[in-house]
Structure 1
């Protein structure tokens, strides 16, 4: 983890230094995206929306990452297995109650196909690492199989191994049974069982044979085509900000002033740097915590210590990955657990994190009703709150209301509602498609 810093950050002006030339930050080379083949993209498109990849055939990737909700799901903490419908309307089912909320907010998928994204998940537990046998450091360790062609591909299929997300409750289907027994990526494990399901559907079998004749359908190859779809569908690099950076237009006056604050006095770019507004690093910023947390099974707390759960380093306590701000207007609520419903709210939290932490009330969060949930274990415990406060990296940095409004206006220029294939009318399994 690198220590976050807020201070004056002046970046050179692109083009002329004349007084009448609007400020433009120097962001270096533009993002690079691997090329995609449409046959693979179209196959991944169907699989992304097909519930066939969940244990009980009732949840698709799109359930928590839907384009109508900005490729996220519009709530702070999702309900996965045991839920019905999607987004803010998703609720517990009476006959198959979920065991707990998903511990972290469902992030948007914008620009994850850019090659600079080599770290995935809020805590970075999945990373590209050339020192690892398969080039990926993962919680599966040596069990991680070969064949994933990118870090995005590997990331896109970990949710199917989670009982709370897609696999299902223990022993209620052949996939969740394999997960319970620890058979994940091994031969005959959960991934193999899902691949066999897909291979048994004629339309999928023919589509895979068309892109890789004579090759068996494997789980990594399923994941690879889903990643190709994400890379193609949600590449968002033609916002008003991008066009301004290319010299094709200018920003509205308030947004221009917000950009100057963002890259200057407000210091936002010390973490939200580069073309995609992220340093891909981890910072503790005093976010309030609620929900089930990320404790190991032998632990009885409900805190989420973020990056420290990966590195074991106490200096990484409560640190989470800096999110990209592309299409941030579409992906509320904000924070690793969706603590803040508005951009203004999360900006103000950054200006005085410990005060915001101590004043936080759970009613701010967008939490679907969940009978029996103990969501306040951390935020109602002063000792737990002070642990988060002590780890905070951000100093107090007050800004007047008009500057906060200008920052919001700038962030709005990062919106590019890129969508190409949209939601399919149907999928080869014949299962219902989220709409």
Structure 2
């Protein structure tokens, strides 16, 4: 490599790292060229994100997969207390004493308890109700006016499912969704952290109230089941119970909602792929896995930190530094996937290959439920409205404007469900 080439490479890397750190509008619209550059020039890249804590971003598939299972890279953010408070603030502590932010043996115990709610039999028992909710939501959607499919369908579906599973009353779900949305979309400024603290305080108070009510009048739901087992050895204490409700609610609807939106968007902007599914419905499960790989709803895995100095390729991640696994980048690594920037619903072996649901001990517990919700949602939507069309150009889509995001999803998804009936 010539000296000029080295300077060009260094400049490109610095520009890509800056874009990933700042979460610029251009980057949010299409982060994949940035990830491509980093995979090629700095696969383990030091960033300076808005939260101000030294962070290393891992972008290649093999490194990402290894990091998700490396015991030297901890999920216990309480052990990194200074970094934790810098990023999240004091108000987050009460909601984060859960399996998402823990290591074995605590993580093993918490996951074993929660796993009882996500057995294959219990998930399958939800199928008729998920179909019923799907039908009800689509019935309410206008066919003569443009519809924001995220607000009208993609979000209410998984939110209703997880709230019913947990036992959150219907009349209280709008407030819960509002508080969750504030938490998901908050940045790192002083004003953002103040809004975050208010939303987290409201959620904490709400969950404590809900737990108290269930203790006096248990019903047939997950929360009541968890309360009934609290006297058993190894069961959840009160703090763990509260924060477990939070992580199940948050993870149980946000990721699936954005996945449904991303799936609809990409199928409508790749009509040949949609037509293939219509002609061969048996392709749909594979198409869902391709959506998760190509444009999944998890862009970066949740925070981890190094328990010791760790060398990956030629980069040393120092003890105490934050580690972020760029799932969206790993899932488009050409060393793992042929033609990774091509959306192909016939792609072979994709389900067993992508990292869209994570990996290792923290593999997504709700993956089977998310897959079922997506399959029912897409089958019903495209079956009922075969001519559905986007009401915006693909390159004008509004992607989430959150700095250094965990999620990859749309702000809104305007569609015409039945273009022939659209007024005006």
TM-score if structure 1 supplies the norm length? Answer: 0.24
Q: Would you tell me which structure has more helix in proportion to its own residues?
A: 2
